[in-house]
Amino acid sequence: MNVTVWNEFRHEKKHDAVKEIYPDGIHRVIADALAEHGYDVKTATLDEPEHGLTEDVLNNTDVLLWWGHLAHDEVDDAIVEKVQKRVWEGMGLIVLHSAHFSKIFKHLMGTGCDLKWREANERERLWVVDPSHPIADGIGEYIELEEEEMYGEHFDIPAPDELIFLSWFQGGEVFRSGATFKRGNGKIFYFRPGHETHPTYHNKQIQQVIANGVKWAAPTKRDYPVYGNAKPIEKLEGYKED
């Protein structure tokens, strides 16, 4: 399976605290973890030509992971349309943390995708609320993170097809932190943890969930549906082709 990890790669260049945790970028840590799970992984970043998401890269990507925060508005609309089309055609998409506000996620959800947030280095528990789901394979009743950014409800997304993780935060809020959606032939998994000033993507359980998500989001082996004016399969009296 071919996987592409996309990251803005801006925080790691601007902020020493982030660079200390992710010296080669958030994308590199995620990519290395997925490679350990046997996936063929490449990376792409915002400042590359076409944001690293050329036609060739997208056409040869089975699952795309997306992390963004500082520069959602800098992502070219033409690239967003290409990614959306690939999702419709069957490419899997995993949207991570603050990419809830990315152009591609908002396009695919059709809602504002807004939420409450707070940076207070508080404890988070991600409770598994669908233990039979393959994305939760290998995970116990919950994942506990000692320090994370809080995201709180209401989360302005459509009702998920499946809810896998529900987070509780030390300050009292809860949040739908692991949710799946289907758009066209494509499968989408939103996974909340991953604030840039915390070592969340070094956590083995978080890495396991992401690897499980990639496996779940892999394209179904079937042709894209045919749309538009259709010839009848059976003979129709009086039917004339246009």
pLDDT per residue as tens digits for the range 17-50: 999 999 999 999 999 999 999 999 999 999 999 9
- For residue 234, the 8-state DSSP code is S
Percentage of the residues of the chain whose pLDDT score is greater than 70: 100
pLDDT band at 235 (very low <50, low <70, confident <90, very high): confident
Average pLDDT over the chain, rounded to whole? 96
Percentage of the residues of the chain whose pLDDT score is greater than 90: 90
* Helices 204-217 and 26-36, packing angle to 10 deg: 70
What is the average pLDDT across 67-80?
Answer: 98
The pLDDT of residue 9 is above 80: yes
pLDDT band at 220 (very low <50, low <70, confident <90, very high): confident
Helix (H) or strand (E) holding 217: helix 204-217
The pTM of the full predicted model, rounded to 2 decimals, is 0.95
State the Cα–Cα distance between residues 198 and 196, nearest whole angstrom.
Answer: 6
Q: Can you give the pLDDT at residue 168?
A: 98
pLDDT digits (tens, 9 = 90+) for 133-163: 999 999 999 999 999 999 999 999 999 999 9
Tokens describing residue 171: 């300050």
The pLDDT of residue 82 is above 90: yes
pLDDT band at 186 (very low <50, low <70, confident <90, very high): very high
End-to-end, the C-alpha distance of the chain in Å comes to 42
- What values do phi and psi take at 215, rounded to 5? -60, -45
Q: Select from 38, 41, 59 the least CA-distant residue to 50.
A: 59
Q: Can you give the pLDDT at residue 185?
A: 95
Q: Select from 9, 125, 150, 120 the least CA-distant residue to 67.
A: 9
Q: Can you give the pLDDT at residue 241?
A: 79
